Structure 1
Amino acid sequence: MKHFHKTRPELREWILATARGGHAPLDVVKLMREAGYDAQQSHRAVSEVLGVPLAALNATLPRAGARRTRHPVAPVSTVDGHAVRVSASLDSPAVRVLDGLLTAGECDDLIALATPRLARSLTVDEKGRHQTDERRTSNGMFFRIGETPLIQRIEQRIAGLVDLPVEHGEGLQVLHYLPGQEYEPHFDWFDPTQPGFTAVTARGGQRIASIVMYLNTPDEGGGTGFPAAGFTVTALRGSAVYFAYDTGDQSSLHAGLPVIRGEKWIATKWLRERPYQR
């Protein structure tokens, strides 16, 4: 393991050159770790050279009580008698395509419950508050955890599938997209270099995985794209895409692709490293 007390000139120049080459601070940290530096050393050097708050970089270190998800295992994962088929897998990013996560009846019931409560879709701002975002052009709503027996059943199914307690999940969000609407490429993890990181993670830590469930099959378009992997998941009623990520994981960039014909309904569940305080 490499050690230093003050950033050496040659290391300083390497960090600067790497950042100028388009690498984000967390990417530079990752490259230093791969070169043999420990986490704290990497964080101190990147903080000193690039001017990133050390506390923000240290926030990416594992914390007490943090949990990870278990990736669904092919070919079939059975949860309380419900069989979910894993029809495709990627290693980077960690993606699993899940067939039959929801039944047709569950999809229809979610749409019916959500429809009267739809409003302009929101994202989470740097202070943990919900806000509109021009990149997301859908309508949506949130269910409370365990709000109805249907929501409870779906939450328990997901918890068993990924081996993470229900308490680690945010409330289920249902979104409705019309032709031309989309969610442009983005990350689901919270950026620790942003000033609101502490506020947005205070209630449950970092996001560690997402599950996007397709409640209908659009006539054309509307899939979920992973640009770094050149991979697109087709939106098919009852199926879902699960993907997990670490803080700063650039490969997890993804997009809700535009609906070309018809409409798209999805339900999204975000999972946190610690129990989510509502």
Structure 2
Amino acid sequence: MTTTTAITPELRAWIVAQAEAGFPPEDVLAAMKKSGWPEDVAIEAMESTLTEHLKAKGRPIPSLELPEPAVEDGSTCLLADGHEVKVLMSMQLPRVIVFGGLLTHAECDEMVELARGRLTRSETVVNETGGSEVNTARTSDGMFFARAENALCQRIEHRIAQLLRWPVKNGEGLQVLRYRPGAEYKPHHDYFDPVHPGTPTILARGGQRLGTLVMYLNSPVRGGATTFPDVGLEVAPIKGNAVFFSYNAPHASTKTLHGGAPVLEGEKWVATKWLREGEFV
């Protein structure tokens, strides 16, 4: 079976119908594979069909230009705004990079203290409306800093912009989360699924999310890894380190399904930076 002969009008119509019915892309892909479609054919069919469908609807298509550190030459130490950052691990699919020493311990402690008094129960995006709500899949406390809200945020945002070669204005404000013992964030995607009715409202503020940077503000005693179930990857939450991943399309072929494993002992504090394709307002 080849891609050319397999992607029939009937298959395209079925993919669109599943998307319009609200089924997540990963579920559609799983259904196609279960029915005997080779994974590469299924992914190609979904990519081309949904792209054409979004264009026909006049809805935005994500840019292929992505935030990316200067690691083309195999560098293991990068200079970002005068701060040395180590490259501890790099992976292509999913595009994941683990950084060592992105934040100093003093910066981690300061951010925790600035955030501590403003924590509330974390919410997740409501795909149907573009709003947010408390969800049992996310059992952390959190808060958002406005972009450049204080000197610490401004310094870290400029460091991230230089490290990932992405404009400060295209980043959301830093979000700080605290996970108590037993708290977790079940596997999810950070991009905004184009098939959901609330997505245009979200995209109006800066376009699609293209990348995520999770910075660890402390080291829990046990548990709390950032997990990527599709590839069996677990990133340990080490104070000052960070994990970055990007996604060039809003569907499961990017293999960026990820979660926060339950904290087994102690607390876990993280700061997250999401990067948009346009200016975030």
Q: Counterpart of 2:192?
A: 190
Q: Counterpart of 2:105?
A: 104
Quote the offset at 1:43 in angstroms.
Answer: 4.0
Residue pairs, 1:232-247, within 5 angstroms:
232-246=234-248, 247=250
Q: Which amino acid aligns with 1:68?
A: L
Residue 12 and residue 249 in structure 1: after superposition, are their counterparts in 2 closer, same or farther (change >3 A)? closer
Q: Counterpart of 1:218?
A: 220
Farther off after superposition, 120-129 or 267-276? 120-129
Residue pairs, 1:176-187, within 5 angstroms:
176-187=178-189
Residue 99 and residue 14 in structure 1: after superposition, are their counterparts in 2 closer, same or farther (change >3 A)? closer
Quote the offset at 1:31 in angstroms.
Answer: 3.9
Q: Counterpart of 2:90?
A: 89
Quote the offset at 1:260 in angstroms.
Answer: 0.3
Q: Counterpart of 1:61?
A: 61
Alpha-carbon distance in 1 for matches of 2:11, 2:109:
60
Residue pairs, 1:36-185, within 5 angstroms:
39=48, 42-43=49-50, 55=57, 59=59, 61-62=61-62, 67-73=65-71, 74-126=75-127, 127-185=129-187
TM-score by length of 1: 0.82
Q: Counterpart of 1:209?
A: 211
Alpha-carbon distance in 2 for matches of 1:20, 1:102:
38
Q: Which amino acid aligns with 1:208?
A: L
Quote the offset at 1:190 in angstroms.
Answer: 0.5
Q: Counterpart of 1:271?
A: 275
Q: Deviations over 1:178-204 (max 9, x none)?
A: 110000000000000111111111110
Is the 8 Å Cα contact of residues 81 and 158 (structure 2) preserved in structure 1?
A: no
Instruction: List runs of 5+ in structure 2 lacking aligned partners.
Output: 18-26
Residue 200 and residue 31 in structure 1: after superposition, are their counterparts in 2 closer, same or farther (change >3 A)? farther
Quote the offset at 1:34 in angstroms.
Answer: 4.1
Is the 8 Å Cα contact of residues 78 and 84 (structure 1) preserved in structure 2?
A: yes
Quote the offset at 1:124 in angstroms.
Answer: 2.1
Quote the offset at 1:249 in angstroms.
Answer: 3.5
Q: Counterpart of 1:248?
A: 251
Alpha-carbon distance in 1 for matches of 2:225, 2:151:
28
Quote the offset at 1:143 in angstroms.
Answer: 0.4
Is the 8 Å Cα contact of residues 157 and 168 (structure 2) preserved in structure 1?
A: yes
Alpha-carbon distance in 2 for matches of 1:223, 1:98:
15
Alpha-carbon distance in 1 for matches of 2:179, 2:51:
44
Q: Deviations over 1:237-270 (max 9, x none)?
A: 0000000012113410000110001110000000
Aligned residues: 260
Q: Counterpart of 1:257?
A: 261
Quote the offset at 1:10 in angstroms.
Answer: 7.7
**Partner SS state of residue 123, structure 1:** strand
Alpha-carbon distance in 2 for matches of 1:38, 1:222:
33
Alpha-carbon distance in 1 for matches of 2:136, 2:159:
33
Report sequence identity in percent: 42
**Partner SS state of residue 228, structure 1:** coil
Q: Which amino acid aligns with 2:176?
A: V
Equivalent residue for 1:22, pick from 25, 28, 31: 31
Q: Counterpart of 2:20?
A: none
Instruction: List runs of 5+ in structure 1 lacking aligned partners.
Output: none
Alpha-carbon distance in 2 for matches of 1:10, 1:220:
47
**Partner SS state of residue 178, structure 2:** strand
Alpha-carbon distance in 2 for matches of 1:155, 1:198:
26
Alpha-carbon distance in 2 for matches of 1:184, 1:265:
16
Q: Which amino acid aligns with 1:69?
A: P
Is the 8 Å Cα contact of residues 212 and 240 (structure 1) preserved in structure 2?
A: yes
